[in-house]
Amino acid sequence: MVSPAIALAFLPFIVTLLIRYRHYLVLLYRAVLVAWLRDRLTGISREQRAFQYLLTHAIPGDPHHILQTFDQWCYHCEHLSCVGPDKGRIVERVLLERAPLWVLELGTYCGYGTVLLAQGLPPGARLYTIEGDPRHAAVAEKVIRLAGFSEQTVSTGRKPSSAPETGEEMGGVQVELIVGPSEEVIPHLREKHGLMKANFVFMDHWKRCYLRDLQLLESHQLLAEGATILADNVLFPGAPHFLQYAKTCGKYHCKVHRASLEYFHAIPDGIAELRYTGTR
């Protein structure tokens, strides 16, 4: 048994920790505990609940309003690990500067990042987005269509059908949603999906996979010279090995855009921007 005197001695330390890390505790509560409880009470996932909210409140065919409605859900209802509006503006700015035509997204999740990318691409651009979880991909497919973009869904190991003819009213940007683990999809992007070289890559999947997948893109020569790679959440939850490699391998110019975690302004985060200079 711990004596009351010893317990009281640790009380200031515990209170200090609670105050210092209160924002992380709120994140844990909203992102894990609340979601777990509501999943069991409703029988559907929070991603599906978010899509139901979009159907009720968002304007179909309006990508900007789709994203705004997503943000309202995440601020006021439940937390989703989307890039969010603050870091989203960084992505939009870099897209505007680069105007890429061949874009690869790793980690579709609910489709927030996909819609964000697609609305900022020039006419005729092609966006390939990879999602490993079929349940998330099913939600993302509906979100992409709701936003008004041309879209086709392809499972790993199956060649895509001919490009759909819809989506011209959104500037002709076509989105291909590929369902499968990124480490299995990336080696076959050229022969199965027609991606010769990407000139823009957005990473927002498992952080531990960032370095592995970047090296896969290199080894399969899928990065165009001068390609831009944006990687979200490199400070929280963090991708230290990815950052270390990007800064020291000699293949990239690397900088980190400081920001805050999506929907939690008090938690520091950042997006890494890499410019591919080619092999040494």
What is the pLDDT, as a whole number, of residue 23? 80
Six-digit token string for 171:
């500037």
Architecture in CATH of 82-276: 3-Layer(aba) Sandwich (3.40)
As averages over each run of 10 residues, the pLDDT of the chain (280 residues) reads 63 63 85 91 95 97 97 95 96 97 98 97 95 97 92 52 37 89 98 96 97 98 97 97 97 97 95 88
Q: Please state, in angstroms and rounded to a whole number, the distance separating the CA atoms of residues 32 and 29.
A: 6
pLDDT of residue 9: 66
Return the domain boundaries, the chain.
82-276
Give the contacts of 122 (CB within 8 A, at least 6 positions apart).
Answer: 99, 101, 171
Q: What is the pTM of this model?
A: 0.88
What is the C-alpha R_g of the chain?
A: 20
